[in-house]
Structure 1
Amino acid sequence: MADVVVTPGERERDQGQLTYRRVLGALDRLRRASDADTAYRLAFQVVYLQCKFGAGERGVSGTGKWWWNDATPRPRSVGEVLSAVWSRTHLAREYRLPAYRDEGVSRPFAQTEAALEELVTEVGRLESAEYLLDVLLDVYSTRYARGGDYFTPDTVSYLFAGLAAPRAGEMVRDPACGSGRLLRAAAFRAQKQGAELRLSGADIRPLARYAAAVNLALHGFRIDLAGDGTDTLREGIPQERADVIITNPPVNMRDWGHGELRGDSRWDLGVPRPGNANFAWIQHVLADLTPHGRAVILLSSGAAHSSSSSDGLIRQRLLEHGLVAGIVDLPSWPFPHTRTSTALWLLAKGARPNGDRVLFADAGKLSMWRDGARRGFDAAQAERLFRIFRAWQEEQIPEGEDAQGSVPWCRAVSLEEIVRAGFDLRPARYLQPRSNVTLNSGTDSRIRKRQLYEAMDRSSAAWRRVRVVLEGRHE
């Protein structure tokens, strides 16, 4: 079975719900004793310290030896030790990540001590905590995701990195970095090619910024991370422009500062409409790119065809200026927390021969593998998609199996055809209907299975949300 590798050993990590069930149980009890964000920040600290300093060494109660050394008298609480040790780490100092005693939570710390000690003990018992952070990020998104407030799945991060194709020495930025998975995927992809990137990110949510700092550091990548609570749209453009921007901003964001930012210089293609930040994000990204920069940004599918006059005008100007290189429709299964359909927009600045055409693709038609609850894009098919878009960006003509006509889920469309369609940028409008395409043997069966799996996953996600609500009422 084909696989998709975003981080080394991902398959082992994805058995995490079972492997780390005792840790997740302890985390649930810590969450009930405090609150979700506090519990997860503490868990991030424990995982980082265990991975960096506790592996292979067992101390008091089976925990990592980093808690205290033999010459130090036993402290009064695990919380005190965690605060002291965490505060001394380079990571906490560099990014000003608060320790346990600095959290400022509303409940007394005494209520969380027993649950925190249990969490520390369970993490300390693990043979390896290498993949635990990713499991925590996935569990948090499954339980607490709301609309655009979630951590981007690894499968989608893989697409971002492949389509962006970062090169050695480039500045790669995510202005809504969440847990840092997009930047991590880009850094891993460059690393496989023997290249290093400069990474930059920001996020308005303190928990997301915390997760990003820990995530990148655990995998050996350094990131230039903006301060806590950075509202990228309101803050404006950083001093240094980015060569590549990859970002998954909040979908259809309502309160983005339309009133105070109405006269902002970034809106040279048109003032974005109030109540929806889609085209504010697009223009922010373009303003933040170098003169020949490129970007991959995830937006709701509504941005491609909304009837708003301001949206339509901005879409028209984007096309007339040759700024849209391609659009890739995404399937729904990577996002079980929402029914909003999404697409990846590939933007490019600077003159290019393909500026009068847009390359459309449908990632939902790529082959998919499944292993229990885990699934992802077939690696060979995804890499084929990346090759086609890389050739498009580099002004080459795809040949052989990647040539137009042999790829039913991908097509280049002229600006004239898009104009006739009213500047509608939905890939489905331009791609060949499935009935007119000769598919490989077994494809129809895979499509039917995929649709069935997606329906089952939506039902399962709805049940999980109901369960969370019911559990909350009994606490």
Structure 2
Amino acid sequence: MPDKEQRFLDALDKKLWNAADKLRSTLDAAQYKHAVLGLLFVKYVSDAFDIRRQELIEQFKDSEHDYFLDPGDYDSEDEYQAEIADELEIRDYYTEKNVFWVPQLARWQTLRDNATLAPGTEIEIKNGKTRTYTFRSVGRLIDDALEAIEKDNPKLKGVLNKSYGRLQIDQSKLIELINLLSEIPFAHETLQSKDILGHVYEYFLGQFALAEGKKGGQFYTPKSIVSLIVEMLQPFAGRVYDPAMGSGGFFVQSERFIKAHGGKLGNVSIYGQEYNHTTWQLAAMNMAIRGLDFNFGKEPANTFTNDQHPDLRADTIMANPPFNMKEWDTGVSDDDPRWQYGRPPTGNANFAWLQHMLYHLAPNGSMGLLLANGSMSSNTNTEGQIRKALIENDLVECMVALPGQLFTNTQIPACIWFLTRNKKERNGFRDRSGKVLFIDARNLGYMKDRVLRDFKKEDIDKIAETFHAWRKGEGYEDEAGFCMSATLDEITKHGHVLTPGRYVGAAEEEDDGEPFTEKMARLTIQLSEQFEESGQLEEQIKQNLAGLGYEC
């Protein structure tokens, strides 16, 4: 993204978040998150609707366009304008352009104009036919607007969180929030409303994850980690699946990747699953804001006990499931067909997530998932046996060790597993059978604040380009301390442990040309001189303190 656009978005982010956070009042971050993001969604669909509405007005007046309405066919200007007004309320004009139909009650201007009314006031709603609406409260007005949007757009059924009337928040705060979000512009010189609102939505998700701490991090994966996995797997086409999708970050980043590389969004089908109902709603809104078609199943559901996509075989699978999840298997059969490489232990779901994803992977598919570091070496219960089976079946393609402090919700060290069902030569990749790439990225990244670490773009590029070069067999070389291509025999000698540090070794120090014995002698003399100097300094300090009347 050009610097000018990024500066505009960064300034908008900061302004909106600072203002919105001041309005939080008595609501905790979890409740306030849904209040803000729900209203952001209404703003988006209303803006998109208004933009399409303006396009139609221009087309009705353009004699070269199929939608042209000739003023000469009407007896008066008033009759002509009335005809345009009626035409603007025809749903098909909007849905044909994949724009959500927004009823009059749910349009942003309606919310803004009527939010300050006194309870009991009646307002007229014109939407095909005129009717009256009795205003009860701002919260109820927003709920009714969301209800109207859902009713007129079947794809959004069950997606919108209609609970504003029940929020324990001063109504004046909701009015301030509406006025605040009204400041989000329709468009920028080079950015569309969808891009701006999508960016703000994602930024707010990240900020709420920070505000909620451990709980908030459960639905949000840091953008840089998502970007890394997407850059490595490159989901240009086919079915993309996330069985623990949270707010849908992997899908958003996949969209960006496809656009950045000139691909077509229509070539990708999105499938996801999420257990938490409100997070499932957030993800669906996240997709809708970007105009992406998606299948998140019939309902929010437990991935292990109520698989929403039982017959899916995906080309790309990406996930950040909960680390080391306990008591995950209540209601799950011991002979479930997903446990092809061993029954995962009750006390840890890491290999249950991994095998669930493998079960849904297409014959030529690839997958990447974040897991706790323990998954690479643990022999607790059946974990070591499962890992051994995965290695011996040549399913593991690459292991990436990550730096600490990357996540808002946990300090548990993490790694990324990349697996594939087919390492044979295909689609520009060389035959990698019997080989695994190990990447130790623990020394990459920077501290973005006192608590959190992050990757720079060059860090992501270095890891992804190493992986692609290894896959293609073009320009790859082992680099001590960073990467190594190991054989299955070498991995077996290490007891089927997959920790990259065991394979990449230590980084080589640059040779300065000085022989070791000479360097050792020189450094020993230098250290002795520094000790002597330290002793002299200490004696001087004692004398100075004694001169001031202090005993040492």
2:284 pairs with 213, 225, 228, which one? 213
Quick one: which of 88, 97, 102 aligns to 2:158? 97
C-alpha displacement of 1:176:
0.6
Q: 1:49–1:66: 8 Å Cα contact kept in structure 2?
A: no
**1:303-350: per-residue Cα shift (whole Å, max 9, x none)?**
001121411101111001110000111122321432100011001013
CA contact (8 A) 1:243 1:289 kept: yes
Instruction: Determine helix, strand or coil for the equivalent of 2:33.
Output: helix
Q: Counterpart in 2 of 1:361? A: 439
1:65 and 2:137 aligned: no
Number of aligned pairs? 417
Match of 2:367 in 1: 295
The alignment partner of 1:233 has SS state of coil
The corresponding residue for 2:243 is 175
1:147-195 per-position Cα deviation (integer Å, ceiling 9, x unaligned)? 7624111111101111111123x10011111111111111211222323
Matched, 1:47 2:40: yes
Give the TM-score, by structure 2 length: 0.68
CA spacing shift, 1:367–1:80, aligned 2, 3 Å: closer
Which SS does the other structure have where 1:358 is aligned? strand
Note the residue ranges of structure 2 that are not aligned, 5 or more in a row: 52-106, 114-122, 126-132, 187-195, 425-430, 513-552
**Cα distance in 2, alignment partners of residues 6 and 333 from structure 1:** 29
Residue 456 of structure 2, aligned match among 359, 362, 378: 378
In the alignment, the residues of structure 2 paired with residue 153 and residue 8 of structure 1 have an alpha-carbon distance, to the nearest angstrom, of 24
The change in CA–CA distance for 1:314 and 1:363 in structure 2 (over 3 A counts) is same
**Relative to structure 2, which stretch is displaced further, 110-119 or 196-205?**
110-119
Verify: 1:306 aligned to 2:378, yes or no: yes
Q: Is the 8 A contact 2:227 2:253 kept in 1?
A: yes
Between the aligned partners of 2:450 and 2:418, the Cα distance in structure 1 is 32
| Percent identity for Structure 1 against Structure 2 | 25
- 1:79 is displaced (CA, Å) by 1.8
Q: Distance in 2 between matches of 1:294 and 1:14?
A: 34
Deviations 1:250-284 (A, max 9, x none): 11111211563322111110000111000001110
**Measured at CA, do residues 377 and 391 of structure 1 come closer, stay the same or move farther in structure 2, by a change above 3 Å?**
same
Give the corresponding residue for 2:523: none
CA distance in 1, matches of 2:240, 2:6: 23
For 1:118, give the aligned amino acid.
Answer: E
1:149–1:118 distance in 2 versus 1, CA, 3 Å = same
Kept after mapping to 1: 8 A contact 2:229/2:368: yes
Name the counterpart of 1:20: 17
Is 1:254 the counterpart of 2:298? The answer is: no
Alignment partners' CA distance in 2, 1:25 and 1:67: 21
Deviation at 1:75, TM superposition (A): 2.5
Choose 119-128 or 356-365, whichever is displaced more. Answer: 119-128
* TM superposition shift of 1:368: 4.9
Please list every run of 5 or more consecutive structure 1 residues that lacks an aligned counterpart in the other structure: 58-62, 440-475
Going from structure 1 to structure 2, the CA distance change for 1:258 and 1:11 (only over 3 Å counts) comes to farther
- List per-residue Cα deviations over 1:53-106 (Å, max 9, x = no partner): 24899xxxxx94142778547723222221222223369742423656x54x9x
How many angstroms does 1:119 deviate by?
1.9
2:483 maps to 1:410: yes
Whether 1:285 and 2:360 are equivalent positions in the alignment is: no
Change (3 A) 1:19 1:13: same
Write the distance in 2 (CA, Å) between the matches of 1:12 and 1:364.
33
CA contact (8 A) 1:6 1:185 kept: no
Read off the aligned partner of 1:41 and give its amino acid letter.
Answer: H
* SS of residue paired to 1:275: coil
- How far is the alpha carbon of 1:110 from its aligned partner? 7.1
Shift of 1:41: 2.1
Q: SS in structure 2 opposite 1:234?
A: coil
C-alpha RMSD of matched pairs (Å): 3.3
Report what 1:141 is aligned to: 209
TM-score by length of 1: 0.78
The aligned counterpart of 1:268 is: 340
Note the C-alpha offset of 1:112: 5.1
CA positional deviation for 1:218: 1.6
Equivalent position of 1:462 in the other structure: none
Match of 1:88 in 2: 148
Higher relative contact order (CA 8 A, sep 6+): 1
Kept in 2: contact 1:54–1:66 (CA 8 A): no
Q: Tell me what 1:457 maps to.
A: none
The answer to whether 1:122 aligns with 2:180 is yes
Counterparts of 1:167 and 1:14, CA distance in 2 = 28
Kindly indicate whether the alpha-carbon contact (under 8 Å) linking 1:205 and 1:228 is maintained by their aligned counterparts in 2.
no
- The secondary structure found in structure 1 opposite 2:244 is coil
Paired with 2:2 and 2:319, the residues of 1 have a C-alpha distance of 17
Deviation at 1:378, TM superposition (A): 3.4
Instruction: Say if 1:247 and 1:297, in contact at 8 Å, map to a contact too.
Output: yes
* Conservation of the 8 A alpha-carbon contact between 1:7 and 1:185: no
Between the aligned partners of 1:304 and 1:214, the Cα distance in structure 2 is 35
- Looking at structure 2, the residues matched to 47 and 68 of structure 1 have their Cα atoms a distance apart, in angstroms, of 13
Separation in 2, partners of 1:173, 1:363: 26
Question: Deviations along 1:201-236, whole A, 9 cap, x unmatched?
Answer: 111111221211111222232221124431112224
> Which of 66-75 and 205-214 deviates more?
66-75
Q: Which residue of 2 aligns with 1:468?
A: none
